[in-house]
Amino acid sequence: EPEVTQTPSHQVTQMGQEVILRCVPISNHLYFYWYRQILGQKVEFLVSFYNNEISEKSEIFDDQFSVERPDGSNFTLKIRSTKLEDSAMYFCASESAQGRIKGYEQYFGPGTRLTVT
């Protein structure tokens, strides 16, 4: 069964450094999302992406964040200058056009644990 994959599974970085989290969505999906989950807290929406542009973003998704679909398969989240409070699990999700019609089912990747020291 197709699945969303994410790399790396765990990334440790120093405060102020740039990080890029990578996701490979399911191949025929058209809608892409990033979420984060700070340890012990709920999953929070960051951004949605469709047709090579951001369709929605939350208040968390400030100028330090950016997303890109550099080729036909990858979907990336970049944090330009990491802060301690960026430490969290970051989940990528994707969704097909048919999925939207059927009921908006998003498929989640296993997550990348980002630790900022």
Partner 1 sequence: AQSVTQLGSHVSVSEGALVLLRCNYSSSVPPYLFWYVQYPNQGLQLLLKYTTGATLVKGINGFEAEFKKSETSFHLTKPSAHMSDAAEYFCAVRLNDMRFGAGTRLTVKP
Work out whether 105 is an interface residue with partner 1 (CB under 8 A). yes
44-103: contacts with partner 1 (CB under 8 A) = 44-45, 48, 56, 58, 91, 93, 102-103
Smallest separation, CB 111 to partner 1 (Å): 5
Q: In angstroms, give the least distance from the CB of 50 to partner 1.
A: 11
Cα angle at 51 between 48 and 66, to 5 degrees? 45
Binding mask 1-20 for partner 1 (x = CB under 8 A): --------------------
| Residue 76 contacts residue 18 (beta carbons within 8 Å) | no
Beta strands in the chain (DSSP E): 5-7, 10-13, 19-24, 31-37, 43-50, 53-57, 65-68, 75-79, 88-95, 107-108, 112-116
Pick the binder of partner 1 from 23, 29, 32, 35 (CB under 8 A). 35
Q: Give least dist CB 9 to partner 1, A.
A: 9
Peptide bond preceding 8 in cis form (omega within 30 of 0): yes
Question: If binding means CB under 8 A, how many residues of this protein chain bind partner 1?
Answer: 22
d(CA 15, CA 11): 12
Q: Which residues bind partner 1 (CB under 8 A)?
A: 33, 35, 41-45, 48, 56, 58, 91, 93, 102-111
